[in-house]
Each structure stands twice: as structure tokens, then as C-alpha cells.
Chain A
Amino acid sequence: MTSTTGVLLGRLMRNITRSPDTIITVAITPIMMLLLFVYVFGGAIETGSSSYVNYLLPGILLITIASGVAYTSLRLFNDVKGGLMARFLTMPIKRSAILWAHVLTSLVSNSIAVAVVILAALLMGFRSNAGILEWLAVAGILGLFMLAVTWVAIIPGLTASSMEGATAYSYPLIFLPFVSSAFVPTETMPTAVRIFADNQPVTSIVNSIRVLLYDETVGNDIWVALAWCIAIMVFAYFIAVNVFKRQAR
């Protein structure tokens, strides 16, 4: 690829493939969580579903993506602090390509991480009777979620004054699935927690992926999930692009 975005994407992907710690954090950590919950806690968790790994997988995939986008913030932060951003901005290249290269890098690397985690789940007994259309729909929802949280991640990447600041936002993002239907059914939670869990974006996304993978009854979840993803994406995109324009004149 010789286009500006292509060259910048190639550079960022090389950064990932040469940083073992990125690969370990993004793909190995969710697999460890999967192992921990399926083989240690899983036996004691009553979900009403026959296989806990089936129940757990959608939430783990969201955690995979949430921890993956933290690296988007980090890479962007390093570009800004290290001066590469200033170099790119003073070159005769398309400015939008600079941010889009980071967004595409996030999509590619997170997709690989998600695929690796699904493979690991298959080895641990995950099975789905979903057809190709359902799988495409799952990919669509996950892709939309990736885009939404990536644009959220761009904002601290551009504005943070320290490395810790650039990635701190990802902790609540990784924690959000725990207070949702990802690990246990929300019915078991105290009312206040349950109201929060039922109405936060992760629950609707997790539920709609379950509907697609395991043929459960289709509810409103999928529309609520799509609305959340699109709303977050549009909102974060608008802020991120504005911050970028202000910083880059």
C-alpha cells in the first residue's frame, strides 16, 4: 500500500508485531480470564445455561477489545509526546490519515485478538450453532463496538499529559462487563446494581451476541446495542476530531 493511511498503518502494525508485551496483554490476559472463570469460578456460578464458557465468551470478547484500545491511546500519546505527530502535521500529507491510521490499526489488531480468544474458547468447549449470517452479525456488532471505543480512546491519547493518564480511562471500560450480564445473570444482583447493569451498554451488547450465537429469543437487545455503539461512536468521533483540529491548528 502506498497511500498515506496505508504507510502509517504499516508503521503502527509493525510497532505491534514487534512489541511482545502488547500481544501478551491484549490476547493472553482475556484467555487467562476465560480459564480462570471457566475452570475455577465457573463451577459455582449458576447461569441457567448448560455451558459456562458459552455464557462467558461474549463478555470476554468485550474485555479483549476494551484492553486492546488502551494501546491505541498509548500509541497516539507516544506520537504526540515523541514529536512524530508534529513531524507528520508539518508534512504535506492528508491530516485525517494520521488519526484513521490509528483507528484502522486498532480494528485490525483487535480483530486478531478477538479471533485468538475465540479459538482458545473453542478449545475449552465453546460451541455455537450460529450460521454464517449470525456470525457476520456478531462480527458487525463487535466491529461497531471496536470503532466506538477506539474513538473514545483517541481523546485521551491526544490530550493526556502522562502515559498513566492516557490509559487510565480503560480501567472502568474493562471493569464495566463485570457489572453487566457478562459473567452472571443480572437477576441475582441487588436492585440498585441490577438497574445499572440492565441499562448500561455492555449488557445489551452481550445479550445480543448471545442471541445470535445460541439461538436465544430475539428481543430489543440488538437495537439497544446498536444504538449505544453508534451513539458512543458519533459522540466520541465528534470530540476527538475537534480536539485534533484544535491541536493541529
Chain B
Amino acid sequence: MKKIAIGVEGLKKSFKTNRVLVDVDFDVQNGEIFALLGSNGSGKTTIVNILSTLMKPDGGKIEVCSFDVLLQPDQVRQNISLTGQFSAIDGILTGRENLIMIAKLRRISNPAQTADKLLAKFSLADAANRRAEKYSGGMKRRLDIAMSLIGSPAVIFLDEPTTGLDPESRLEVWRTIKELAGGGATILLTTQHLEEAEQLADRIAILHDGKIITTGTLTELKKMFPPAKVEFVEKQPTLEEIFLAIIRKKEEL
């Protein structure tokens, strides 16, 4: 049974005279990872903010888990969690305390146990009792995502989950998101990087000039472009590949 987790139809949003979202339509199926791909300022965050009940749309029919975001925001909030562009953690608290706080707010019956399980799952157990502000960028992001999983929300929004991370941390976060996919939750993530969408998403929607210009799986999108040609090109390693190779060598030593 394929059910629609997120339904967006004719979504419009302007800020004063700036029409950010002109007419946005897309559906996200239950349990899939859906990537919204778009350049900076294309309105990806605006879509996430509207879907997560932070912002009101100017028009359109927008449903999350069959609840209308305008009319039933409380029911929507019962079913979602938001991981925004900046790691939404309390830096003064430890990682463990951050998780326990969210578990208590979500009225989970055993907050400490929930926290410990997530710390182990996200490889944060060693840093559990350190202040979160002392974490690396990748660890902060992982803690942030772990906080979003508490209470097993049906839909998880990840707004540019790897922006500002170094290549190594980005790979860590990618691994984390891939693992989430098996958990049954629906994930909507936004990104500016083609590679990230390619790596993570079941389906990709490209947002441009306030509209979704195309939606599909990677294979479907690839078919829309000219067929692949065989060319001989000398492939130089990118600086990123060099960096990662050196880091791994060091770890092996």
C-alpha cells in the first residue's frame, strides 16, 4: 500500500513583493527519502517552514499525514520533526541532556533509556556527557538528527543537513541518513548539491523560479537528458578525494 505522506498542491508564498513560491506541486510517498534540490534562495527552506507549521502559505492545499497544515497544525506537529539549517541544540547542555530534554517534552515514558540508545546508535556515547557546544560540526549535526528521531515521528524534515560541514563529517551524516531510511519514516531533505540528492534520495524534485520543474527518480531524471557518451578523459583526483584518502590512511595507521 502506497500512501501519500506529504501532499503539496498549488503552494504559493510571497514575502512583500518577492514571489518566492509561485506554484509548487509535489507528493511524497510514505517511507521514501525525497530530495528538494535547488540553488540558494530558491525557496527550499520556505517550503520546509510551511510544511512544518512555522510559516503560513499564501495559498494552496498542503497536507502532512493527511492533516491540513493550516487547519490542523497541532495534528501535523504530532507527526513531524524538524531538523533546521542550523543545529538546533542547547550548547550548554550535554548531548545526553539534550536528548533527555526532547524525550521529556515528547512525554516518552523512559527518557534516559531513549537517550542512551540514540547516543549509541549515532556513535555519540563517548561524548554523551560533554557539553554539546564542544562537539565537532558533524557530531552536532548527528545529535541534532538524533533529537529529531525521538518519539518516532512519521515525517522528518532535514533542511540542508550537510551545509557547513567538512567532507568527512558530510560522509558521516550521509551514512546516518541512509540508516534512517530503513526505519520506515518519510524523509524530506533539501540540498543544493546534486551529489547529495543522488546519494540519498529515492526521488528528487528540482525547484527553480518558484516552481518544481521536474520530479523523478535519478534514473528517470537521467533519461531526460541526452544519452551517455563514451569519452576518454584523464580523471584527476579532486582535492576532496585527496583529503579523504589522506585522512583514511592516517586512521589506518
Contact of B54 (CB < 8 Å), options: A10, A15, A18, A89: A89
Assess whether B125 is interfacial by the CB under 8 Å rule: no
Shortest Cβ distance from residue A49 to the other chain B in the assembled complex, whole angstroms: 43
Does A7 lie within 8 Å of B105, measured CB to CB?
yes
Chain A residue at minimal CB-CB distance from B80: A90
Chain A residue at minimal CB-CB distance from B49: A86
* CB-CB under 8 A for A86 and B106, given A11-B101, A15-B92: no
> What's the Cα separation between A104 and B86 when bound, in Å?
27
Contacts of B54 in A (CB 8 A): 86, 89-90, 248-249
Chain B residue at minimal CB-CB distance from A93: B105
Contacts of A47 in B (CB 8 A): none
Which 7 A/B pairs are nearest by Cβ-Cβ distance?
Answer: A83-B88, A87-B88, A90-B82, A83-B86, A92-B77, A83-B84, A90-B52
Assess whether A82 is interfacial by the CB under 8 Å rule: yes
Pull 7 A–B residue pairs with CB atoms less than 8 Å apart, ordered by A.
A4-B105, A11-B93, A18-B92, A87-B102, A89-B54, A90-B77, A249-B53
Contacts of B77 in A (CB 8 A): 90-92
> What's the Cα separation between A91 and B151 when bound, in Å?
10
Assess whether A188 is interfacial by the CB under 8 Å rule: no
Chain B residue at minimal CB-CB distance from A81: B86
Assess whether B7 is interfacial by the CB under 8 Å rule: no
> What's the Cα separation between A82 and B132 when bound, in Å?
13
10 additional A-B residue pairs with CB within 8 Å, beyond A15-B92, A91-B81: A2-B104, A7-B104, A7-B105, A8-B105, A11-B101, A14-B97, A82-B89, A83-B86, A92-B77, A92-B78
* CB-CB under 8 A for A82 and B104, given A89-B53, A92-B78: no
Does A249 lie within 8 Å of B97, measured CB to CB?
no
Contacts of B91 in A (CB 8 A): 82
The dominant DSSP class at the B interface is loop
Contacts of B92 in A (CB 8 A): 14-15, 18-19
Q: Mark A1-41, 1 if CB is under 8 A from B, else 0.
A: 01010011011001100110000000000000000000000
> What's the Cα separation between A183 and B82 when bound, in Å?
51
Binding site for B on A (CB under 8 A): 2, 4, 7-8, 10-11, 14-15, 18-19, 82-84, 86-93, 248-249
Contacts of A88 in B (CB 8 A): 105
Assess whether B74 is interfacial by the CB under 8 Å rule: yes
* CB-CB under 8 A for A84 and B88, given A90-B80, A92-B77, A249-B54: yes
> What's the Cα separation between A10 and B102 when bound, in Å?
12
> What's the Cα separation between A2 and B81 when bound, in Å?
21
Does A83 lie within 8 Å of B53, measured CB to CB?
no
> What's the Cα separation between A93 and B105 when bound, in Å?
7
> What's the Cα separation between A8 and B153 when bound, in Å?
21
Does A249 lie within 8 Å of B84, measured CB to CB?
no
Does B78 lie within 8 Å of A87, measured CB to CB?
no
> What's the Cα separation between A10 and B89 when bound, in Å?
15
Contacts of B121 in A (CB 8 A): none
Chain A residue at minimal CB-CB distance from B148: A87
Does B74 lie within 8 Å of A92, measured CB to CB?
yes
Shortest Cβ distance from residue B210 to the other chain A in the assembled complex, whole angstroms: 21
> What's the Cα separation between A248 and B81 when bound, in Å?
16
> What's the Cα separation between A80 and B86 when bound, in Å?
11
Contacts of A84 in B (CB 8 A): 88-90
Shortest Cβ distance from residue A99 to the other chain B in the assembled complex, whole angstroms: 15
Assess whether B137 is interfacial by the CB under 8 Å rule: no
Contacts of A93 in B (CB 8 A): 105
Shortest Cβ distance from residue A92 to the other chain B in the assembled complex, whole angstroms: 4
> What's the Cα separation between A18 and B93 when bound, in Å?
9
Shortest Cβ distance from residue A77 to the other chain B in the assembled complex, whole angstroms: 14
Does A86 lie within 8 Å of B84, measured CB to CB?
yes
> What's the Cα separation between A55 and B196 when bound, in Å?
67
Contacts of A91 in B (CB 8 A): 77, 81, 102, 105-106
Does A82 lie within 8 Å of B53, measured CB to CB?
no
Does A90 lie within 8 Å of B53, measured CB to CB?
yes
Contacts of B105 in A (CB 8 A): 4, 7-8, 88, 91, 93
> What's the Cα separation between A66 and B171 when bound, in Å?
47
